[in-house]
Amino acid sequence: MSIKPFHALREKASLFIRRHRITTALVVALFLLSLPYVLTSAYHLRVATLVGIYVLLVSGLNVIIGFTGMFSLGHAAFYGIGAYTSAMLTTMAGWNFWLALPVAGIVAGAFGTLIGLATLRLRRVFLAFTTLGFGEIIRILILNLRSFTRGPMGISGIPIPRILGWTFTGRGYYYLILVLATVTVATIYRMYHSRVGRALIAIREDETAASSMGINVFGYKVLAFTVGCFFAGIAGSYFAHFQRYISAESFANLESFAIITMLALGGTGSIIGPILGSTILVLIPEIFRFLMQYRGVIYGLTLIVVIVYRPGGLANVKGVFEKPKPPKRPGKGRFSFGRRRTVVIPGETV
């Protein structure tokens, strides 16, 4: 399979976007805003909303894996913590959704901080194993803490959000997740291009060098982990009120792998990647409905194919799955112009 035509297309598209920034932004905004009026079936609108939830989850995980290079395999656990916090607060304590939403994010973020403090001194594969274990612990806790979580019965009857006396409909849900996803992506974009973002990337590239630059490596790792978990908590709360019924199975390790696959497909370390990845991987199983039972297979295959053939993902940004650099052929990828080395000094060795 040749991916050359794809390359050419992507180059052209990115050039077009760079030349017509404002036009592109307006078109995208118009498209997203008018979508609920184009998609007439309630089911399609639900799928679009689901994409938004995954944008939150994948973008958050991108801060952890893509920017900072920490392999967390338990992201769904924080998604679950957010969902259960919000569901318990609204159904059992009678809280309002608008208060439960940020609190769910904060609780998930606080769990992220605690787990981070305990595990982030571990590197690579050890961190991956501990977070995998944590994901399993959360699932088992949800199943067994019956007095809080109602165990395997799950929590049902989670209230529909209301605003100014108006109860949410499909369109209301869609617009709210659109706002949340936009805020999330914009926040992460700002963070990426700040002092903090540079510090995180420095840590991903080389921890020792980063700390000799005066960067508090451990502190920033915990920060990145907390930020990622916070957004997962927000996504969880939203999911609980969207689905109106939650159970432990929605937040098992399979879900963590789905989120990681979306991130890998879109491109780790990229801003646009998580959006592409979640859109494609939510849509594919929905479009090919008859393949729904093979969802896990599709995700697993996608992950393998991406890592072997296209470690930069669709966005083709150098992320964590990239192999140690072989000499690059010029003319490939977005940064190709930078790879053509101009050797100025004769007799120089590299």
Partner 1 sequence: MSLLRVTDLQVHYGAINALKGVSLEVEEGSLVTLIGANGAGKTTLLNTISGAVPGSAGSILFRGDEILNELPHLITRRGIAHVPEGRKIFGELTVEDNLRVGAYVQKDKKRINTLIERNYELFPRLAERRRQEGGSLSGGEQQMLAIARGLMSDPTLLLLDEPSLGLAPILVEMVFELIKEINGLGVSVLLVEQNANIALQTATFGYVLETGRITLADNAAALLNNKAVQNAYLGVG
The binder of partner 1 chosen from 128, 211, 283, 310 (CB under 8 A): 211
Confirm or reject binding of residue 147 to partner 1 (CB under 8 A).
Answer: no
Q: Give me the least distance between CB of 343 and partner 1, in Å please.
A: 6
Confirm or reject binding of residue 344 to partner 1 (CB under 8 A).
Answer: yes
The binder of partner 1 chosen from 33, 213, 301, 308 (CB under 8 A): 213
The binder of partner 1 chosen from 201, 272, 280, 284 (CB under 8 A): 201
Closer Cβ to partner 1, 162 or 341, answer by number:
341
Closer Cβ to partner 1, 220 or 238, answer by number:
220
Q: DSSP assignment of 296-332, as one string?
A: HHHHHHHHHHHHHH-TTTTTT---TTPPSPPPPPTT-
Distance set, CA 319 to CA 112, 137, 198, 270, 316 (Å): 23, 29, 14, 8, 8
Across 239-267, b (16+ Cβ under 10 Å) vs e yields bbbbbeebbbebbbbebbbbbbbbbbbbb
Beta-carbon contacts of residue 313 (< 8 Å; ≥ 6 apart): 263, 264, 265, 266, 267, 268, 270, 273, 276, 277, 306, 319, 321
Confirm or reject binding of residue 265 to partner 1 (CB under 8 A).
Answer: no
Confirm or reject binding of residue 334 to partner 1 (CB under 8 A).
Answer: no
Confirm or reject binding of residue 15 to partner 1 (CB under 8 A).
Answer: no
Q: Give me the least distance between CB of 210 and partner 1, in Å please.
A: 8
> Locate tokens 């080395």: which residue?
341
Confirm or reject binding of residue 216 to partner 1 (CB under 8 A).
Answer: yes
The binder of partner 1 chosen from 12, 206, 297, 301 (CB under 8 A): 206
Confirm or reject binding of residue 330 to partner 1 (CB under 8 A).
Answer: no
Three-state secondary-structure class, residue 163: strand
Q: Which stretch binds partner 1 (CB under 8 A): 17-25, 28-36, 201-209, 294-302?
A: 201-209
Beta-carbon contacts of residue 340 (< 8 Å; ≥ 6 apart): 330
- Number of residues counted as binding partner 1 (CB under 8 A): 32
Q: Give the DSSP H/E element, type plus range, for residue 41.
A: none
Provide the binding-site residues for partner 1, judged by CB under 8 A. Answer: 195, 198-199, 201-202, 205-206, 208-217, 269, 318, 325, 335, 338-341, 343-345, 347-350
